[in-house]
Amino acid sequence: NLLNVEKEPVRVLVTGAAGQIGYAIVPMIAKGVMLGPDQPVILHLLDIEPAAEALNGVKMELIDAAFPLLKGVIATTDPIEACMGVNIAVMVGGFPRKEGMERKDVMSKNVSIYKAQASALEKHAAEDCKVLVIANPANTNALILKEFAPSIPEKNITCLTRLDHNRALGLISESLDVQVSDVKNVIIWGNHSSTQYPDVNHATVRTSSGEKPVRELVSDDKWLNAEFITTVQQRGTAIIKARKLSSALSAASAACDHIRDWVLGTPEGTWVSMGVYSDGSYGIQPGLVYSFPVTCEKGKWSIVQGLKIDEFSRSKMDATAKELVEEKSLAYSCLN
Ligand code: NAD
Ligand code: LMR
């Protein structure tokens, strides 16, 4: 019976796999949360020498969990071995920020990692490998990876802003006391930083009398135009303050959402936010990895076109683009 033939395993690289997000995401991948409940996987786990023993502990636990979909685990400190033949690369390796830091404060440590790993991926990953950069500053690390891996198609290199997107959905659902699964089409524009612009102008809620715009249901415009935006922008900081560690389970879950929708497609009528290489849409200059609303089909994303942008949104979209231009030049000065 053809239907019972198992799919070929997909090789998924997780860098920084001995860290917090690594520990949260590997069981999700091994349980099919990222690629589907019928998709076998082989995990490639990379970390650095000081974390080698901890990484081996993660490998032991993965074996002990006896995940039926998990067909192999490679745990290594060698980037070449780690990147060999991978179809999906989830780039978490790097240093997280601590209380009092902005995400760009981890720039000098992290961009050089992305320059070095760009060439390992370019030379050894499977053709058409899809890359998701999570480590901060996520947009700029993804841009550096793209620039130092010129043979990887630019459409294959993305960064995570789905966490911010999910935070915006969560906050709307909380404030309206509706199910989060009934809220859709928020947008995160720009940088995964405190200048990002969470936009609800096109967002809707499913109600018993059909889909309603969030702007119609939330009567408090002042809240939507101020506190809602700053709460999403500052949520990472609030979590660091509360946990003394940066977000991990929500970041891991958002990363699974990002890859799942990219590979398997977004539901009809729904878009998600992804940091992608700008093609000039909405007047955002090419040469930046910027978060846009996208729909995905057959493993390809496309930026949602034709959304009306008012003056308020325009200025916020431009401010976060300006920060990305500055980060880009800071990144290059760190690399020189
Ligand atoms: P962590 O410190 O717990 O783990 C990071 C791991 O990376 C460590 O095990 C470390 O040894 C490893 N590492 C360092 N250099 C490496 C290299 N060259 N190659 C491979 N591995 C390397 O940190 P974490 O909490 O898991 O966070 C990881 C990154 O993700 C941070 O930069 C954090 O700021 C970022 N982050 C981004 C988002 C997002 O939404 N984009 C959300 C949460 C966290
Ligand atoms: C987050 O948004 O939670 C992460 O980027 C961690 C951080 O530094 O805020």
44 is known as an active-site residue: no
* 47 is annotated as contributing to ligand binding: yes
Ligand 1, atom 35, lies closest to the CA of: 135
Find out whether 22 is annotated in a ligand binding site: yes
pLDDT one-digit tens code per residue, 196-252 = 999 999 999 999 999 999 999 998 999 999 999 999 999 999 999 999 999 999 999
Bond prior to 27 in cis (omega within 30° of 0): no
162 appears as a binding residue in the annotation = no
- As a whole number of angstroms, the distance between CA 205 and CA 224 comes to 15
The ipTM of this complex is 0.99
Please check the confidence at residue 121 and state whether its pLDDT lies above 70: yes
In a mutational test of the pocket of ligand 2, which residue from 21, 91, 95, 97 has the highest number of ligand atoms less than 8 Å from its CB? Answer: 97
**pLDDT value at 328 more than 60:** yes
Predicted local confidence at residue 283, as pLDDT: 98
Ligand nearest to the CA of 255: 1
Contact 61, 30 (CB under 8 A): no
Percent of the chain with pLDDT over 70: 99
pLDDT band at 96 (very low <50, low <70, confident <90, very high): confident
Q: What is the predicted pLDDT for the residue at 104?
A: 75
d(CA 15, ligand 1 centre) in Å: 8
Q: pLDDT at position 108, please?
A: 86
* Residue 106 confidence class, pLDDT cut points 50, 70, 90: confident
Q: Which of 124, 192, 202, 258 is catalytic?
A: 192
pLDDT at 109: 84
Predicted TM-score (pTM) above 0.95: yes
What's the pLDDT score for residue 3? 62
**What was the pLDDT predicted at 101?**
82
- Identify the residue whose C-alpha is closest to ligand 2 atom 9: 236
What pLDDT score was predicted for residue 253?
98
Q: What is the pLDDT of residue 74?
A: 98
Q: Is the CB of 97 under 6 A from ligand 2?
A: yes
Q: How far is the CA of 5 from the centre of ligand 2 (A)?
A: 41
Q: What is the pLDDT of residue 98?
A: 81
CA angle, residues 141, 144, 146, in degrees to nearest 5: 110
Average pLDDT for 305-333: 97
Report the atom number in ligand 2 closest to the C-alpha of 97: 8
Cα separations in angstroms, 176 against 179, 231, 250, 270: 9, 16, 21, 20
Which atom of ligand 1 is found nearest the CA of 55?
9
Model pLDDT for residues 1-51, shown as the tens digit of each residue: 556 678 999 999 999 999 999 999 999 999 999 999 999 999 999 999 999
Residue 4 pLDDT: 65
The residue nearest atom 39 of ligand 1, judged by CA position, is: 134
Best residue among 92, 132, 136 to mutate for probing ligand 2's pocket (most ligand atoms within 8 Å of CB) is 136
pLDDT at 48: 97
Q: Could you tell me the distance, in angstroms and rounded to a whole number, from the CA of residue 176 to the centre of ligand 1?
A: 34
- Across all residues in the chain, what is the average pLDDT? 96
Beta strands across the sheet bearing 204-207: 183-184, 204-207, 210-213
Instruction: Tell me if 239 CB under 6 Å of ligand 2.
Output: yes
Q: Of the bound ligands, which one is closest to the alpha carbon of residue 114?
A: 1
Q: From the CA of 134, how far away is ligand 2's center (Å)? A: 9
